[in-house]
Structure formats: structure tokens, C-alpha cells
Structure 1
Amino acid sequence: MTKTGIEAHELTYKYSADFGVHNIDLHLHKGMITAVRGASGAGKSTLLALLGLILHPTSGKLALDGDETRDMSPNERDSFRRDNIGIILQDLALLPFLNAWENVSSAFGPRLGKNREKAQNMLSEVGLGDRCETPAGNLSGGERQRVAVARAQVKGSSLVLADEPTGSLDPDNGEAVMRLLRRLADNDTSVLIATHSAEVASSCDAEIRLDQGNIVASPQQDLSEQEEN
């Protein structure tokens, strides 16, 4: 059976002075991790913001699991993002005045205590069961990154977007985060990682390269075989 995943066709976002990204065509398959690489200013963050429904495209189409997003109202986009998309920002966006489980629970909305058990279970799965009550500001860089990954996966997201998820980590913690992202993909999620690292990209299933807002190289794998499985 074909797994729909995320499909973009001629996706374009233009800033006031110039293009952010231009005529992007891509298909992010479920169960796969795709890397997007490019120099600073190439459009990686803009692409992630478009796929995460943070930016509204100037033109083009974007469908997530068959749901066309272009005509959604701002409230519908916010609701869809909350329910279906996990985002791991480069600065993690953890709230330092909340502890680990409260940061994870915040993915569900403002009623943190309602989802405390779910959040604590997710932290246990990423090896932080004994750090649930620790304020985010007292966690190490690797621990904070794992909290961010747990927060992204707590909803069973269809799409997870990660902006340089290993950029500030030592090799051991970087490998641990990649294992967590692989587990997300194995749970039928489409994962897209923006990275400067050739090593991280080589561990992904496919790679896209951006230059001045344009795709200049696409995944090399023959994905048609995977669709048939």
C-alpha cells in the first residue's frame, strides 16, 4: 500500500525583496528520514517553516497525508500543526521555568497536568525517566535535545521537522538523537532534517540540496520500490 506522506508541488515563498524558496517539488515518504543541506541562506529554514505551516506559501501546493493545506485558515493551520507536526528547533525552544515533563506536556496545550503521565512515559522512552522533574535549565545539552525529540513525538506526528538537531552535541549525544529520530521514522513518520553535516546526511535515507532557494539535487534512491512494499 502506498504511504502518502508529504507532497509539495511548485512550493514558493517570496520575501519582500527576494525568493526564500522557489518551485519546490518534493515527496517525503513515511518511514524515511530525509536530509536537506545547503549553505547558510540557501532556504533550509524557510522550507521547514513552510512544511511546518508556520509560513504560508506565496504559491504552490502542500499536502500532508492527503490533506491540502493551502486554503486552511490561520486557526486551522495552527490546529493542524499542533495535532500532526512535530518541530525540533535549533534553539530547542524549551521553557526554562518548566521541568522536563512539563515541556513535553506543553505539546498538548496549556493543561500540562492532564497529560503528565503520557509525557513522563515518553521521557522514559528516551532514557530520561529519572530527569522528569528536572528544570529544563538544569539539563545538559544532550538531555535538552532528547526532551525536544520526546516533545515532537508525543503526539504521534505524521511529520517531524528538525533544524540542526545534532549541531551543538558531542558525537555520542548526536548519535543518540539520530537513533531517536530513526525510531520516529520507523513508527510511520516522515522526518526531515536540516543539517550542515555530511555525516548526518549520510545516515539518512535520502538527501535534498538547496541553493539560493532552489533544489539542485534530489534524493537518489528509487523510492518507487518502497511505495510498493
Structure 2
Amino acid sequence: MNTASPPASPLAAPPAVVAEGLAFIYASGGGLTRADITLEGGVMAAVEGPSGSGKSTLLAVLGLILSPTAGSLHITGTDTGALLPADRDLLRRRSIGIVLQDLGLLTFLNAWENVAAAFGPRLARHRTTARALLGDLGMEHLSDSRVTELSGGQRQRVAVARAAVKQPVLILADEPTSGLDPKTANSVTGALRSCAERGAAVLLVTHDRAVSETCDRRYVLDGGVLSSAGAEDTLRGHAREENAHDENARQGNLG
């Protein structure tokens, strides 16, 4: 009789991000009051919110640029609060890609060189990888173009490629479609979607409802507090119902 135990099933990979009670308060006041969010690989999520609501602060904390003043943050199961500064920097470089609002592209380099720069100064070593990713994002014919010769949407896609080229588990994008026309914005969100399809968790902040509605999940950040857009919409719906009820009652009293 065979008494061997069946093979153990492989453990599921931990979520790319688990943040609980995450906060960062500036000395002058304001910032991020509370954020609870879990993102798995392959998910594309959006955060909406007015200017000054804490969106950029949220990205900086999730991107390990700022250390939270409260709460916990795990990246692929690693408790970032327990890491030394050098280890945090290493985790950020290996596991997180960031698309800055001002892009931060190097104007003296061409498109593929800007993407390869994510690996460091030895650009030629990563030429094939960089050019292949640009091709996947519809930019193959522009790989040798200086970024100063590219349109706004094309530069945005170069920035997305640079953030994604090291195959990070998390990609953060700060207003990636700001100032772009709808067609160009669609090409940029399509590039971010491609990153999610490759297995990364993608989180973008935006003022554009049309952009956020293309994502798998939507969140609202207001007054430093992050909530799901579904919960926000429900609260607004209840408020509208209560206002309508009050108005009907008032009209009835007048009648």
C-alpha cells in the first residue's frame, strides 16, 4: 500500500501591497490621515481626489520614498517598517516602478536609453530588453528618437516603460494622463494595463473619472482619508435620498 503523502500545494504569492492604517502627517499639518488598501498582482486601481487631498503623499509612502508616521505597509509580504533604510531603498529599486508627474526623462538620451537607464548607467547591456518593451507599448518605431522629439503621450509611454522594465511587483503613476487628449490618454492607460497584464499591481492617481473607470478598482482620497469609490458613491446616494425625502416632506407640509 502506498502511504506516501500527497505533494504539498504551492503557497499562493502574497499581495503586492497590504497597507493598514497608513498615515503620514507633515510637521505643518495635512498629508495622509488613513489608508487601508490591498492590491494583488494583475490589478489596476485608481485613486481620485481633489488637489491637496494627499494623493501624491499616498504614492510617496507606498513607493517607500516617505516613511509612514503610523500604520503598516507590506510589499510582497515584507514588513517595510522593519527594514533598515538601505534595505528599504533596495526593495524600492527592485520591486517598485514609479511614473512621476513631471516624467523625469533625460532629454539627452533617446527613448530606449531612457528606459534602459532604470538599470543604471550601462545602457547598452539592456538595449534589447528596453527596445522590446517599447515595442510591446507600440513605440518600436520611435525607440531611437530623442525624447524631445516625442509627443506628450509618447513621452508618457516611455516613462511607463522605464517604470516597468525591471518587472516590478508594483507600479505607481502620478497623474499619468494629465494634459493629454482622450485618444492619447487611452494609449497611456493601455500601456499601464499592459503592465498589469504582465503581473504587476498598478495604482494611478487621477482627476479624470473617465480614466479611473477603466480600472479594476476605484478609490477616493479626500481630507487625507482613503475609501473605496463604491462606498463613497453609496454614501452620496444615501445623502441624495435623504435630501429628496426632506424635500418631499417639505412640499407636503406646504401643501
TM-score, length basis structure 1: 0.91
The answer for the alignment partner of 1:158 in structure 2 is 169
Percent pairwise identity: 46
SS at match of 2:166: coil
Match status 1:59 vs 2:33: no
**AA paired with 1:176?**
S
Give the structure with higher Rg (CA). 2
The alpha-carbon deviation at position 199 of structure 1 amounts to 0.6
Measured against aligned partners, the alpha-carbon deviations of 1:184-213 in whole angstroms (never above 9, x if no partner) come to 112221110100011111111111111121
The answer for the alignment partner of 2:61 in structure 1 is 50
The alpha-carbon deviation at position 88 of structure 1 amounts to 0.7
Give the conservation status (yes or no) of the 8 Å contact 1:206–1:220.
no
The answer for the alignment partner of 2:129 in structure 1 is 118
The alpha-carbon deviation at position 161 of structure 1 amounts to 0.4
**AA paired with 1:24?**
A
The answer for the alignment partner of 1:104 in structure 2 is 115
Q: Which runs of 5+ in 1 are unaligned?
A: 222-229
Measured against aligned partners, the alpha-carbon deviations of 1:100-152 in whole angstroms (never above 9, x if no partner) come to 11100011112212111111111111122122221111111111011011111
The alpha-carbon deviation at position 6 of structure 1 amounts to 0.5
**Given the alignment, which residue of 210, 215, 222 partners 1:199?**
210
- CA distance change for structure 1 residues 3 and 77 in 2, over 3 Å: closer, same or farther? closer
**AA paired with 2:207?**
H
Where do 4+ consecutive residues of structure 1 move more than 4 Å? none
SS at match of 2:101: coil
**AA paired with 2:30?**
F
Match status 1:69 vs 2:80: yes
Match status 1:214 vs 2:211: no
In structure 2, what is the Cα distance between the partners aligned to 1:34 and 1:61?
20
Question: Which aligned pairs between 1:9-48 and structure 2 lie closer than 5 A?
Answer: 9-48=20-59
In structure 1, what is the Cα distance between the partners aligned to 2:56 and 2:69?
16
The answer for the alignment partner of 1:144 in structure 2 is 155
Give the conservation status (yes or no) of the 8 Å contact 1:126–1:180.
yes
The alpha-carbon deviation at position 166 of structure 1 amounts to 1.0
Question: Which aligned pairs between 1:175-190 and structure 2 lie closer than 5 A?
Answer: 175-190=186-201
Alignment: residue pair count: 220
The alpha-carbon deviation at position 71 of structure 1 amounts to 2.4
SS at match of 1:150: helix
Give the conservation status (yes or no) of the 8 Å contact 2:99–2:160.
yes
In structure 1, what is the Cα distance between the partners aligned to 2:217 and 2:210?
13
Q: Which runs of 5+ in 2 are unaligned?
A: 1-11, 232-255
The alpha-carbon deviation at position 82 of structure 1 amounts to 1.2
The alpha-carbon deviation at position 219 of structure 1 amounts to 5.1
**AA paired with 1:122?**
L
- CA distance change for structure 1 residues 63 and 3 in 2, over 3 Å: closer, same or farther? closer
**AA paired with 2:228?**
S
Measured against aligned partners, the alpha-carbon deviations of 1:46-87 in whole angstroms (never above 9, x if no partner) come to 000000111111121100110111122222222211111111
The answer for the alignment partner of 2:235 in structure 1 is none
Which one scores higher on RCO, CA 8 angstroms, separation ≥ 6? 1
CA RMSD of aligned residues (A): 1.5
The alpha-carbon deviation at position 172 of structure 1 amounts to 1.3
**AA paired with 1:107?**
A
The answer for the alignment partner of 1:132 in structure 2 is 143
The alpha-carbon deviation at position 220 of structure 1 amounts to 3.7
SS at match of 2:104: coil
**AA paired with 1:206?**
R
